[in-house]
Amino acid sequence: MGKKLKIGITCYPTLGGSGVVATELGKLLAEKGHEIHFITHSIPFRLGQFHKNIFFHEVEVNNYYVFRYPPYDLSLASKMAQVAKMQQLDLLHVHYAIPHAVCAYIAKQMAGDGFKTVTTLHGTDITVLAQDESLKDLIRLAIHKSDAVTAVSRDLIRETQELLDISVPIDLTYNFVDKRIYYPRDVSAFRSEYAAENEKILMHISNFRPVKRVGDVIDVFKRVREHVPSKLLLVGEGPELSKIQWQIRQLGLENDVHFLGKQEDVAQVISLADLMLLPSEKESFGLVSLEAMACGVPTIGSLAGGIPELVASGETGFLSPIGDTADMARNAVRLLTNPEMYRKFSEACIARARNRFCDKLITNEYEQIYYRVLGMK
Ligand code: GMT
């Protein structure tokens, strides 16, 4: 085991897969003996119990009366510099280029270059924000000024290099799940709340943004239901939700679709499902599909972004061209009506999640990157 490090972590603490991955990484690093300092606007929602190696530093925004928009980014940069100096951080690991990597760069200037920075790209910072000409140069600067840059899929590395003309190397570090949390749970006690014994359960979990193509989820479900008695469980909330509710009413599917809203214990909820649906337009990785995989639930999804690196089509699920809901539904029916095939897929899911996307393996990969930028390797 190498030297114990003091690591600052900044992420979006209340939102999405990037915050989940950043928090879980911090927890695992703390278990390995490193000292972790979260620098965020609120306590990361997956932080859980007290741990002696984990500290939280709250970013408070100055609401001075001349500010039309309180400058969160500047408060964050100041806090990063302050924590880095006071705690003598070795490095700062930020998740998302905008604004976090830019803030880390400013903090470094303020703190006198005493620490290194590592930036992890999660997707929407590149696939969406880098399309905006006004932000392109800023994202490029943030990437070039980081001591190391990682991305969560090969596809995201390719897209970053293509869109932003990046000359520095980008490390591939896939997302991971903690296998102590994500495993097939026994949900027999409450499965009957959602579906009859002869019915299958299809599930979709997202933030209901247009890129998730939740309309396709409904279309796939409608087609599957014509062949297999089933229910659809929708988990999460977001801007497309009311449109989706309208679509469900139009199709007369109200009694077959359950809305579960936001859920804390995702592993428990996922264990209810027979299939996870992920027909996204853009998806740099698709953490929810990995969470499902670890619980033995195959994915029916699209060939978007990094999904093909995660889902082995024909082994742990099936992938179709974006928008091809007829093909997705055919694949879903194939799996749901062949118990032997389903069993093999489910076993392959658990094995793949544990072997390729193992928490220990990926934590080690990040650790090696830290030691490299600190010149300890
Ligand atoms: O998908 C989102 O809208 C949320 C976003 C986030 O901030 O968590 O997800 C991105 O990062 C995740 C963690 O690395 C990836 O699993 C998601 O694929 C990625 N989303 C997109 O690329 C659209």
- Sign of torsion over alpha carbons 22, 25, 31, 37: negative
Residue-wise pLDDT tens digits, 157-210: 999 998 888 889 999 999 999 999 999 999 999 999 999 999 999 999 999 999
User: What pLDDT is recorded for position 165?
Assistant: 87
User: In percent, how much of the chain has pLDDT > 90?
Assistant: 85
Nearest Cα residue to atom 20 of ligand 1: 283
Give 273-310 pLDDT, tens digit per residue.
999 999 999 999 999 999 999 999 999 999 999 999 99
* Best CA proximity match to 119, nearest among 138, 275, 111: 138
Per-residue pLDDT band at 131 (split at 50, 70, 90): confident
Per-residue pLDDT tens over the stretch 221-258: 999 999 999 999 999 999 999 999 999 999 999 999 99
* Residue 230 Ramachandran class (φ > 0 left, ψ -120 to 50 alpha, else beta): beta
Per residue in 140-155, pLDDT (tens digit) is 999 999 999 999 999 9
- Tokens for 167, please give them: 């000359």
What residues does 313 pair with on adjacent strands? 317
Amino acid at 187: V
Q: In Å, how far from its chain's centre is CA 220?
A: 23
49-63, pLDDT tens digit by residue? 778 899 999 999 888
The answer to whether 306 and 154 are in contact (CB under 8 A) is yes
302 lines ligand 1 (CB under 6 A): no
Instruction: Enter the DSSP assignment of 177.
Output: B
User: Using a 6 Å cutoff on CB, does residue 211 contact ligand 1?
Assistant: yes
* Rounded Cα distance, 145 and 123, in Å: 19
209 Cβ below 6 A of ligand 1:
yes
Q: Determine if ligand 1 sits within 6 Å of the CB of residue 291.
A: no
Predicted confidence band at 1 (pLDDT cuts at 50, 70, 90)?
low
Contact between 306 and 153 (Cβ < 8 Å):
yes
Residue 61 confidence (pLDDT)? 87
Residue 16's pLDDT is 84
| DSSP per-residue codes, 249-306 | HHTT-GGGEEEEES-S-HHHHHTT-SEEEE--S--SS-HHHHHHHHTT--EEEE--TT
> Is there an atom of ligand 1 within 6 Å of 236 CB?
no
Average confidence (pLDDT) over 128-137 = 82
Please state which of the ranges 65-79, 205-219, 308-322 shows the lowest mean pLDDT: 65-79
* pLDDT for the residue 28: 95
3-state helix, strand, coil in the chain (%, to 5): 45, 15, 35
Cα 103 to middle of ligand 1, angstroms: 21
**For the chain, how many residues are written?**
377
Q: What's the pTM value of the predicted model, to 2 decimals?
A: 0.95
Do 126 and 139 contact (CB within 8 A), yes or no? yes
pLDDT exceeds cutoff 90 at 120 = yes
Contact criterion met (CB below 8 Å) for 204 and 219: no
289 in ligand 1 pocket by Cβ < 6 Å?
no
pLDDT value, residue 169: 95
Cβ of residue 16 lying under 6 Å from some atom of ligand 1: yes
In angstroms, the CA 180 to CA 267 distance is 10
The pairing of beta strand 148-151 with beta strand 230-235: unpaired
pLDDT exceeds cutoff 80 at 128: no
Residue 252 CA, ligand 1 centroid: distance in Å: 31
Q: What percent of the chain has pLDDT over 70?
A: 99
Span from the CA of 235 to the centroid of ligand 1 (angstroms): 16
Residue of minimum CA distance from atom 23 in ligand 1: 283
As a whole number, mean pLDDT of residues 132-136 equals 85
What mean pLDDT value characterizes the chain? 94
Predicted local distance difference test score (pLDDT) of residue 67? 83
Structural domains of the chain, with CATH: 6-176+358-373 (3.40.50.2000), 188-356 (3.40.50.2000)
The closest of 44, 370, 323 to 211, measured between CA atoms, is: 323
